[in-house]
Structure 1
Amino acid sequence: MNFTPPLKPARLIKRYKRFLADVVTPEGETFTLHCANTGAMTGCATPGDTVWYSTSDNPKRKYAHSWELTETAQGHWICVNTLRANHLVHEALLAQRIPELAGYHQITPEVKYGTENSRIDLLLQAPGQIKCYIEVKSVTLLQQTPLHMSPHQGFFPDAVTQRGQKHLRELMQVAENGERAVLFFAVLHSGIAEVAPAHHIDARYAELFCEARQKGVEIFCYGTTLCPDGITLTYPLPLTVTR
Structure 2
Amino acid sequence: MEYPTLVPGTLLRRYKRFLADVRLDDGREVVAHCPNTGSMRAVNVPGCRVWLSPSDNPARKLAWTWELIELPQSDGTTAAASVHTGRANRIVEEALRGNAVEELAGHAMIRREATVEGARLDFRLDNPEHGCTFVEVKQVTLRESDGHGYFPDAVSLRGRKHLETLAALAAQGHRAVLLFCVAHEGIEDVAPATHLDPAYAATFREVVGLGVEVLARRCEVIREDGVPMAIRLGRRLPVSLSREVGPAVVVD
SS of match in other structure, 2:50: strand
Equivalent position of 1:172 in the other structure: 167
SS of match in other structure, 1:204: helix
Contact 2:135/2:177 (CA < 8 Å) preserved in 1?
yes
Which of 214, 217, 231 aligns to 1:219? It is 214
Which of 132, 151, 155 aligns to 2:150? It is 155
Shift of 1:56: 2.3
Cα displacement string for residues 114-147 of structure 1 (whole angstroms, at most 9, x for unaligned residues): 13xx211111112222111100001100114xxx
Question: Would you say 1:238 and 2:238 are equivalent positions?
Answer: yes
Give the count of matched residue pairs.
234
Structure 1 distance, partners of 2:206, 2:72, is 38
Structure 2 distance, partners of 1:208, 1:59, is 45
Shift of 1:31: 1.1
TM-score by length of 1: 0.93
Equivalent position of 2:248 in the other structure: none
Matched residues, percent identical?
Answer: 44
5+ residue gaps, structure 2, are 244-252
Which of 93, 98, 114 aligns to 1:95? It is 98
Shift of 1:57: 3.0
Equivalent position of 2:117 in the other structure: 114
SS of match in other structure, 1:76: strand
Structure 2 distance, partners of 1:166, 1:56, is 35
Contact 2:192/2:242 (CA < 8 Å) preserved in 1?
no
Moved over 6 A (4+): none
TM-score by length of 2: 0.89
Equivalent position of 1:196 in the other structure: 191
SS of match in other structure, 2:205: helix
Equivalent position of 1:205 in the other structure: 200
Question: Would you say 1:4 and 2:4 are equivalent positions?
Answer: yes
SS of match in other structure, 2:42: coil
Equivalent position of 2:128 in the other structure: 127
Structure 1 distance, partners of 2:54, 2:172, is 44
SS of match in other structure, 2:131: coil
Equivalent position of 2:81 in the other structure: 78
SS of match in other structure, 1:112: strand
Aligned CA-pair RMSD: 1.3
Shift of 1:241: 2.2
5+ residue gaps, structure 1, are none
Which of 184, 187, 191 aligns to 2:182? It is 187
Structure 2 distance, partners of 1:4, 1:67, is 12
Match for 2:235: what amino acid?
Y
